[in-house]
Amino acid sequence: MTAFTEEVIRIIQNIPSGKVMTYGQIATCAGNPWGARQISRILHSMSSAYQLPWYRVVNSKGEISLQGEGALIQMELLSEEGIVIEEGRINLDIYLYQPE
């Protein structure tokens, strides 16, 4: 596992309940500002093994990138944490997590 992947996993594991981060934000925090697509790959392949809160990761517009049933599950999980989704978007001014 690369150092980048390890850092991505650590960042995602630390997103608190009721907050979200974007793919690009996670990539930047992990040291690769151009690695947003890698975040998607890591989420897809490692969420189960590392019990990642995958549903707390959204795109830069605050939208859910998944389609179909996956999107519905993600919306439900976020709603259970108190995150409001209006017109298909999450207000990043309110819900975006900024790690230190």
CATH tag for 3-95 (out of 3.50.50.60, 3.90.105.10, 1.10.10.10, 3.40.50.620): 1.10.10.10
Residues 67, 88: Cα–Cα separation, whole Å: 12
Q: How far apart are the first and last CA of the chain?
A: 24
Q: How confident is the model at residue 1 (pLDDT cuts 50, 70, 90)?
A: confident
Share of the chain above pLDDT 90, in %: 88
Choose among 35, 48, 24, 33: nearest CA to 96.
24
pLDDT band, very low/low/confident/very high, at 24 (cuts 50, 70, 90): very high
Confidence (pLDDT) at 66: 86
Task: Let me know how long the chain is.
Answer: 100
Domain boundaries, the chain: 3-95
Q: For residue 72, what is the DSSP state?
A: H
pTM for the complete prediction? 0.92
pLDDT in tens, 44-76: 999 999 999 999 999 999 999 888 998 999 999
